[in-house]
Amino acid sequence: MSSEPAIVARDLVKDFVVSHSGANSLKTTILWFRKARVEKLRVLDGVSFDIGKGTCVAVIGKNGAGKSTLLALLARVYRPTSGFIRANGRIAPLLELGAGFHPDLTGLENVLFNGVILGLSRREISKRIDQIVEFSEIGHSIDAPVRTYSSGMLARLGFAVAGHMDAEILVVDEVLSVGDLDFERKCVRRIQEFRENGGTIFFVSHHLETVRRVADRCLWLKDGRIAADGTPDEVTALYEDRGGR
């Protein structure tokens, strides 16, 4: 394992402002300015960890424990309130059902766009476009608008793009259960390859069986803190034992 960790988090804190009026018009803001109840919700409350290169880490926890917020902070979608989380290397987020696909553009155009948004250059994408299309098993429909695709096709295309990013870190938010069985196996193989090449995986799951099968390490997130950190067997056993509480 390399000396430099793939992901570092230190005292990560994230507050969200909860608005009860749902103020998103000027009128409500002006009218309710004095009464504005600004309440802060602490979603992450001092999370620290180091993740070594090549590890597959699973994050488990109840709904609202801060798992998705943690992933979003890693993807730099949010700014932390304090502390930091840093990734060394390119991150490929596996998006739900091809978020970022435009329905009126063809599959091919969307692959290009998605690749660029994930940080590849156009030349890099054109080099792998054949591989991506072949992996997705979409065939000739690749030239049809994405709105004509089934959800399975969308998921396959989304995974194909993210899987060919040459990323060092793969971030997965419970999406791997959309394709058919064959495709799921193919994804698992691809992830295996990715790990053999020294890639790091950071994923969120409610499916403890998957966690035990694929992860090397497991973090249990509870009320914005790390409740347990260890091998998947230990942590999931503890989690089941306490019923997530």
Q: Which residues bind another protein (CB under 8 A)?
A: 16-19, 22-27, 29, 72, 75-79, 93, 95-96, 99-100, 102, 104-105, 109, 112-113, 116-118, 121-122, 145
Nearest distance from residue 7's CB to another protein, in Å?
15
54 vs 115 by CB, closer to another protein: 115
Shortest gap between Cβ of 177 and another protein (angstroms)?
Answer: 18
Shortest Å distance, C-beta 149 to another protein = 16
Question: What is the nearest approach in angstroms of another protein to the Cβ of residue 112?
Answer: 7
The smaller minimum CB distance to another protein, of residues 100 and 244, is found at: 100
What's CA 30's distance to the chain center, in Å? 38
Give the nearer residue to another protein in terms of CB position, either 144 or 238: 144
Nearest approach in angstroms of CB 159 to another protein is 15
Nearer to another protein, 1 or 31 (CB): 31
Shortest Cβ 203–another protein spacing (Å) = 15
Q: Cβ distance 211 to 205 under 8 Å?
A: yes
Nearer to another protein, 65 or 73 (CB): 73
The residue among 45 and 229 lying less far from another protein, judged by its C-beta, is: 45
Q: What CA–CA distance (Å, rounded) separates 79 from 73?
A: 7
